[in-house]
Structure 1
């Protein structure tokens, strides 16, 4: 639910600006000639994603699905079904690096609705029962006994797409929309320039940020420095390796992916973070993804990323 928002007009640039809060973070919009309903429309799109996909809202569709009996097919709203389908597609293409069934692990490690923990939980074995299934014919989903649906690695990007699609539907062709660091730019600024954004670099890296023109393009970054906790003298990432059931220890600090869809960029940034730099770039090349991986003070970029520099 959006907590606060306001709109201001930059008359000189012909751009109206809106900001607010949703999904535990902030959002902002710069739009050229938006209608009076813009604030309400964007808020409604973000609220719908919270209502369906939040693991922090007890009555969200996702939370009710996780409380329901395992092994039973459940009907869910079209938007939730769409995101689950995309998550499972990325899971297959990444060899399981993306896992939408990690909800119990994220809760146990203090990254879910139960809140932070003071110590690392005991090791748990990866389980085949930690599965999420999708029935394309009926658009129903079910979970294995050890699974709980967690879409935190892809839902924020989908929220950007949903709000952006609403803006396009009502005739707003030129805008830059951002939610918690995930961005989508459409069209151009009134001065003829694209929407320029700087890619955030990890605070531990001395690398200069990339400057990207978002013209009908989205960008998402998964950063291990953003969330985590320390216990017993060790820092634990909020990114999990589904193969081990534990936070990753591969040295990746951040992954940035460019894609037409912010949801796809978000999901792939999450998956590539798990794989480690070399494997991530190899898979990005195979999938023809524009991706940049930062590990320490070194950058690894995919062929598609390099091609965009030409």
Structure 2
């Protein structure tokens, strides 16, 4: 996934490290666009119209991604791999991004255990797979009997139980560099958090900051402005996908959508060197 992971476990049962490594290896084998032999890479290379049996976990993530695409009106799109590669944020050799009559995600068809492309689009789970991996690692630890732990993969976290001093797993949300934003401190007790930001993966073209977050409607990186979005959710996968969708939609539409669905979210808008903070009622209630 091109990132790091960590797990802090209170009284860890035997076998935690190999269990975590097995989960991550499985996710990479199924969902990494950077591995030519992964399930997602093989799917993207199939002839248009050909069905493929998908591994169970990849199928779970694809179904969740398509549902988020529906909820967000396509702002989150798990089939924008061609656009991601075109703008230099994916593996090379992805082919050009053809603009068809519909959104990329609408070109993915599913049945019980199979999927196919009905147009030349490419799956890309970069906005959801890390969150799924966090959930999967947490499930593996619970299966081994661990009750108190904090799991982190590339800035997406889940906390269960409490620390040895009986304090919750307190986490300070990373603020966008250079912006005067109040520290958001949260207690992760059976809760996950994900943050999407324009300061993590980007490149500069002249004076313009090109974010790795792609707006499917524009076929290009999101317009400058959204510095970061943080989402708290029971599921790290859902938090990851919601953070991506809100980032693409922007302050007005994104936070309105999150509010309608009761999502706990904070958005930081970049205006020059200043910052404007937005918070949904669900998050404000959690902080009271």
TM (norm. structure 2) is: 0.93
Q: Which residue of 2 aligns with 1:59?
A: 37
Please say if 1:34 is aligned against 2:8: no
Unmatched runs of 5 consecutive residues or more in structure 1: 1-22, 116-120
Distance 1:200 1:274 in 2: 19
Q: Which of 240, 247, 266 is the equivalent residue of 1:273?
A: 247
Q: Which residue of 2 aligns with 1:92?
A: 70
Distance 1:161 1:58 in 2: 25
Distance 1:93 1:213 in 2: 28
Distance 1:134 1:269 in 2: 25
Q: Deviations over 1:224-281 (max 9, x none)?
A: 1111122344321111111111111151111000001000000110011001111111
Q: Deviations over 1:38-73 (max 9, x none)?
A: 110011101110000000000000000000011222
Q: Which of 272, 285, 308 is the equivalent residue of 2:259?
A: 285
Q: Which of 301, 307, 310 is the equivalent residue of 2:279?
A: 301
Distance 1:126 1:209 in 2: 43
Please say if 1:46 is aligned against 2:24: yes
Q: Which of 240, 253, 261 is the equivalent residue of 2:227?
A: 253
The CA deviation at 1:204 is 3.0
Distance 1:170 1:140 in 2: 31
SS in 1 for 2:104: coil
The CA deviation at 1:164 is 0.5
Q: State how 1:115-194 maps to structure 2 within 5 Å.
A: 125=99, 127-128=101-102, 130-131=104-105, 132-136=107-111, 138-194=112-168
The CA deviation at 1:150 is 0.3
The CA deviation at 1:114 is 1.5
Distance 2:60 2:227 in 1: 29
Aligned residue-pair number = 282
Task: Give yes or no for contact 2:128–2:241 (8 Å, CA) kept in 1.
Answer: yes
**Structure number with higher helix proportion:** 2
Q: State how 1:106-121 maps to structure 2 within 5 Å.
A: 106-114=84-92
Q: Which residue of 1 aligns with 2:218?
A: 244
Task: Give yes or no for contact 2:109–2:117 (8 Å, CA) kept in 1.
Answer: no
Task: Give yes or no for contact 2:190–2:234 (8 Å, CA) kept in 1.
Answer: yes
Distance 1:172 1:214 in 2: 16
Task: Give yes or no for contact 1:53–1:155 (8 Å, CA) kept in 2.
Answer: yes
Task: Give yes or no for contact 1:292–1:299 (8 Å, CA) kept in 2.
Answer: yes
Q: Which residue of 1 aligns with 2:198?
A: 224
Q: Deviations over 1:59-106 (max 9, x none)?
A: 000000000011222111000000000001111011111011100111
Task: Give yes or no for contact 1:87–1:98 (8 Å, CA) kept in 2.
Answer: yes
Distance 2:103 2:227 in 1: 30
Task: Give yes or no for contact 1:130–1:144 (8 Å, CA) kept in 2.
Answer: no
Unmatched runs of 5 consecutive residues or more in structure 2: none
The CA deviation at 1:220 is 0.2
Task: Give yes or no for contact 1:126–1:243 (8 Å, CA) kept in 2.
Answer: no
Distance 2:99 2:210 in 1: 18
Task: Give yes or no for contact 2:109–2:118 (8 Å, CA) kept in 1.
Answer: no
